[in-house]
Amino acid sequence: MSRGVKLPRTIAEFADPGVREEAVLRVEGARVVLADYALLQEDFPELRGLPHASIDEWLIHNAALISEVQAAQASVNSTIATHGSCGAFRPPLYGRALVAPAGCGLLDLKGTGVGPGRKPTSDAHSNGLLALGEALANVAFRELIEMIFRSADSGFRTVPDYALLDLGFDVRDLVGPATPAGLQVRQAHCRPVGGVELPLAGSPEQQVKLEIELLLRHYGVTSTSPATSFVIDDESGKVEITYAGKSIPPHPDDQIAKFLELAGYDGGKMILEGVNVQLTRDSATRPSRASVVDFGHYSVHERFEHTLVTLVRDRSMRWGGSIKPSAKHFVQPNKLLKANVREWGTPKKPDPRFAVPAHPELIWPAPFVTGFDLAHAFRDGSLDAAGVRKRLDAMIASVAKKWRSAA
């Protein structure tokens, strides 16, 4: 629920000069897959007392939107049927998301296509869309993390989802030949001004991000991934450093030497995992509180093996500090608390049904495989919305049952 959080009701409350208004199109044939009707009625008083079917119509009218650029092509998606247009807003660095007015408030919409002046491509995070299976995995991870925050009696929360929609067309070349396109309808929230995600060194945001990461690791959960990791390797005969799989830009020799010293590098291959907890604008310390958003990059592990690094924007190489595996503050999963890796982790081999063309190295975590299964079943009519919700509830319940058994 909203838990006392003040929601932005107008786009002016974002107080960000980078917000841009744009015309968008309404998608024909969208359907509601999941909806939190109680939260919608709490945040939008005009929905109180309405039957769920009427709220579904309200959601589709206000949230089933796509950018004009996305609808004008059919290279990364099947043809998008639209009817009518309306206005929405795109905050800075909202690559595939928009904020749209709805009733007495706002909806944050993920999966609405690229903005003006951009071209959708099949490269990672560049097609402008959100696969419905990916959206379902995001919901599963968000609900798991919210349950962890509440179980730990922390001052942290997750930005909740109002609903997931099946947009009725397909995303191409993401998972096999095609997969249903979805849209994630989230509670409105203000991101850092300008969309700047990395915090300043020594700031409350840096502290809170690390605190959240360490809390989650007790349960086997981490925000780190190859997308925010350094790899240092001297296999070629000279030391090479990559970040997110790409060679870092040229740096002065003394900065590289300092980085290697801070990392404690002594040869061979070394991985430094960067914290990637993404927050809204309202984080603080003493006491610690924050709202976490975006859950598609989280994963679950049996153990953590690599140095953990906090990333900042005002220091060389983004280095904000580290915790090495040998340090007493390096957290390993508690066997009584951690989520089942078979159900929540990443298998050693990809599921052949959902292999990504030209990317054999990409292995979907188990919740994504489950999400894609559910998305295709919903689209072909073999599973209804209640069946989708029941399967996600079972995933969450399995973790809660383990906690009760350990109590």
Residue spans of the domains in the chain: they are 11-191+361-406, 197-292+303-323
Mean pLDDT estimate for the chain: 94
Question: CB-side exposure of 184: number of CA atoms within 13 Å?
Answer: 28
Which pLDDT band, with edges at 50, 70 and 90, does 353 fall under? Answer: confident
pLDDT on residue 124 = 67
Q: Give percent above pLDDT 70 in the chain.
A: 98
Which pLDDT band, with edges at 50, 70 and 90, does 1 fall under? Answer: very low
* Sole residue written with tokens 């709490």: 42
pLDDT on residue 273 = 98
At 178-222, the pLDDT tens digits run: 999 999 999 999 999 998 999 999 999 999 999 999 999 999 999
Compute the average pLDDT of residues 57-72.
98
Which one-letter amino acid corresponds to residue 83?
H
pLDDT on residue 312 = 97
Which pLDDT band, with edges at 50, 70 and 90, does 146 fall under? Answer: very high
Rounded CA separation 257/281 (Å) = 35
Compute the average pLDDT of residues 267-289.
95
The beta strand positions in 28-123, using DSSP E, are: 31-35, 65-67, 82-90, 97-102, 105-110
Compute the average pLDDT of residues 260-274.
96
Compute the average pLDDT of residues 209-236.
96
Q: Residues 46, 98: contact at Cβ < 8 Å?
A: no
pLDDT on residue 38 = 98
pLDDT on residue 174 = 73
Compute the average pLDDT of residues 3-28.
91
At 307-343, the pLDDT tens digits run: 999 999 999 999 999 999 999 999 999 999 999 999 9
